[in-house]
Amino acid sequence: MHMSHTAEIIAVGTELLLGNIANTNAQVLSQSLSTLGVNVFWHTVVGDNPERLKEALDAARRRADIIITTGGLGPTYDDLTKQTICGAFGKPLILHRDILEDIRTFYESALHVPMPENNTQQAELPEGCTVFDNPVGTAPGCAFESGGVHVLMLPGPPHEMETMLRRHVEPYLRKLSCEVIVSHDIMTFGMGESSVDQLLHQRMSHMENPTLATYAKPYEVRLRATAKAADEAAAEAMLAPVVEEVRQILGDVVYGVDVSGLPEACLGLLKEKGMTFATAESCTGGRVAERITALPGASAVYRGGVVSYWTSVKGAVLGVPQEILDQYGPVSEHCARAMAEGARRITGADIAVSVTGAAGPDPDERGVPVGVVYIGLAVPEGTFCRKMDSGRRRRDRIQGVASNHAFDVIRRYLTGLPIDRETEI
Amino acid sequence: MHMSHTAEIIAVGTELLLGNIANTNAQVLSQSLSTLGVNVFWHTVVGDNPERLKEALDAARRRADIIITTGGLGPTYDDLTKQTICGAFGKPLILHRDILEDIRTFYESALHVPMPENNTQQAELPEGCTVFDNPVGTAPGCAFESGGVHVLMLPGPPHEMETMLRRHVEPYLRKLSCEVIVSHDIMTFGMGESSVDQLLHQRMSHMENPTLATYAKPYEVRLRATAKAADEAAAEAMLAPVVEEVRQILGDVVYGVDVSGLPEACLGLLKEKGMTFATAESCTGGRVAERITALPGASAVYRGGVVSYWTSVKGAVLGVPQEILDQYGPVSEHCARAMAEGARRITGADIAVSVTGAAGPDPDERGVPVGVVYIGLAVPEGTFCRKMDSGRRRRDRIQGVASNHAFDVIRRYLTGLPIDRETEI
């Protein structure tokens, strides 16, 4: 028999209710819990308020057997999570001297400053708990079990929470579970969510295990195929035909399975072929460069690029001929081609991609409408161009979708697909 | 008498519980509600599940007089928010033919594709509701009042939600309220949250109205001063001395009030002085360029830059002398200075900033430890350099904090402050 666990995530922090930050911790935890086969039916956010945290804990105890809290473990005076949870579950708080020393050491050796004295309370933890040490911050986390409910307290800063999740929480939860859920993400670019949904609806609506669901990510659509089974091999055997069928139905808009996005897909393809690339960006202003260099190991394939925001920089640094700039303007197919060729030449990369367009809020000075963007690609065989027209969307949306087009053009070239096809987004 | 309203935000979407996206809608709504003087004590997320949505609605009705839902209004078959809310509040759903025509027009004119037929259900809305049209998407939102509780339904895609918020939700809520809350954000860079908290604790702990709170943003600390009053002028009069006092206590780590971040502060200063800048980035990989070009109007001050990820690009494009690269290596004060000088020269900008460092996960090839980054600044008066050591943090954290240092160096130069001071982060 497979016992399925249910977790609830309670985030504590007035800064969430005031909108100063988004609850990204709940997202990261949910992804992990989904992989571990733990159901999540509720996320709750309450402020630094003991009464409402108590109410949230009481509701969660009725509905779930795992409660994970984030936040409220910090050194400041409104951090009350531990006290409130210990009160609700009848556990005393104990000062751990060894943890206090760890916190002091972290301040001195990693941050090079003495520990502020208000950090002492971070070393107080519930009696008899499992301690989760915090190698990237100061507040340790912990877990205890009480009346069949597991309570896990994690710090609020996202990188501390995530480090603790991988090091301590996932191993802790893996011991509780005896059913696995395996998912594969099928990544697509170039087709809208409605169209993907219509193509797959007949197939999806009859599925119970495995399941298939569409999610609109920014600028693209992800499909997640998920199977529950007694072990990983059984789940994988259930998923393989689903992934294959989706690939067949959607065709070459599918750019990868279980990759984080188009930049990672391109990184893999370029590594495989031992090729390097460069960028020349105007309206995306460095977004293509930033997205590839966010990935560890990018230096194996990415040489660098130019952000030619001013027209003069397109001429002086990339060598775009003045006649092209005068005759066709900086937002034109001719300019996109010359920018890509220039970036390829000055960096010595095997291929180069360029982006020039009108991201808004105003049209380009020659009246090119907002949303029109040209993507150039210079490769050993010649130079190609794709025109994209995303319509009048917001500046950051246009920049985002244009950066995806840049990677899509690289991906299509490297996999032998046509580059200048019409796209729906 | 000032009646204070209390709102709850319920997000509907299994993709949130699976961790595919973060609940950024709750953040944006909370910021807005805070400004409008509406209290928010709970955020809840449930999946595309009518029973749990009903349970969340019942809890919210007991605790709040405004309920705002996001998500579940889309064209796909698991979008059930309207049906469930109408069931819970006893309102029939009515097809609005004019809205159906608007959706059809949006597809044809803005997206250049015919409307998929499953979009029809988006034109069904509760009887007697106020319709919120959706100029950037297809699902309209709506609001109705029932038994003293206002229920507002908004679409899930963040840019659609936010557009509707500004156009319809804020005016709708403003009519309900008769007290204003005014906040000012005091932005700091260069001091950790614990230190800020310790410096201000004595001042903050005695405050009730106005209040002062610290929030750690990524790579910096924001303070929010908030006052409630009968009108805006009264609230502003209460806030002015608080803002001034914080500036005095914290000194020149305060870089602005009510600006979104260091890039916006720099944009303003550069515009004021009629100066332009350029970038030369290695380990930040285009992040400085991307952050300035995310702001509309960046072209007034930002000419462009080079992402010199490979050492060869530092030489060939930026003209960093080979002797510097050989003798000191690409991660060095000498190289940072030469990169900034090169970017200034090839773009013709008044000033140029450079970033070179080890973002990890591995140390630089010459053994420069992860977290060490040099920030160069070339200006008409000469060239400066700041060394930053953030310790062994995660790659994206190092890249983020380094990009903040780049803007901080510009900000300090333009305001006549010393550039190469020690920083705590």
Per run of 10 residues, the mean pLDDT along chain A (length 425 residues) is 78 91 95 88 94 96 96 76 92 89 81 78 90 87 94 94 95 81 91 87 80 80 88 92 95 95 97 98 97 95 98 97 96 97 98 94 84 96 92 85 97 91 50
- Rounded distance, CA A401 to CA A404, Å? 5
- Assign B2 a pLDDT band (cuts: 50, 70, 90): very low
- Rounded distance, CA A324 to CA A308, Å? 15
E strand intervals along A209-366:
211-217, 220-229, 254-257, 277-281, 302-307, 351-357
Write the burial class of residue A98 (CB in 10 Å: 0-12 exposed, 13-18 middle, 19+ buried). exposed
DSSP per position, B98-127: HHHHHHHHIIIIIS-SPPPGGGGGGGEEET
Written in H, E and C, the secondary structure of B59-79 is HHHHHCCEEEEECCCCCCCCC
CB contact under 8 Å between A46 and B41, yes or no, is: yes
Per-residue pLDDT tens for B34-90? 888 899 999 999 998 999 999 999 999 999 999 999 998 877 666 789 999 999 999
CA distance A110 to chain B (A): 5
* Beta pairing partners, A224: A185, A213
Which whole number is the average pLDDT over B186-191? 94
CB contact under 8 Å between A19 and B28, yes or no, is: yes
Q: Is residue B69 a contact partner of residue B124, using CB atoms and an 8 Å limit?
A: no
- Rounded distance, CA A74 to CA A154, Å? 10
For A73, the 3-state DSSP assignment is coil
Q: Which chain B residues touch A34 with a CB distance below 8 Å?
A: 18-19
CA distance B76 to chain A (A): 7
Q: Which chain B residues touch A286 with a CB distance below 8 Å?
A: 279, 281, 286-290, 293, 305, 307
CA distance A200 to chain B (A): 11
Q: Is residue A339 a contact partner of residue A325, using CB atoms and an 8 Å limit?
A: no
Q: Which chain B residues touch A393 with a CB distance below 8 Å?
A: 136, 159
CA distance A145 to chain B (A): 24
| Continuous H helices in B252-392 | 262-273, 287-293, 311-316, 322-327, 333-347
Written in H, E and C, the secondary structure of A191-216 is CCHHHHHHHHHHHHCCCCCCEEEEEE
Which whole number is the average pLDDT over B176-200? 86
Nearest CB to A75 within list B23, B194, B312? B194
- Amino acid present at B58: D
Q: What angle do CA A261, A263, A264 make, to 5 degrees?
A: 70
CB contact under 8 Å between A293 and B302, yes or no, is: no
pTM of the predicted model, to two decimals?
0.76
Token pair in block for residue B209: 């109205």
Write the burial class of residue A175 (CB in 10 Å: 0-12 exposed, 13-18 middle, 19+ buried). exposed
Share of chain B above pLDDT 70, in %: 97
- In 3D, which of B320, B382, B332 has the Cα closest to residue B357? B332
Per-residue pLDDT tens for B219-236? 899 998 988 888 889 999
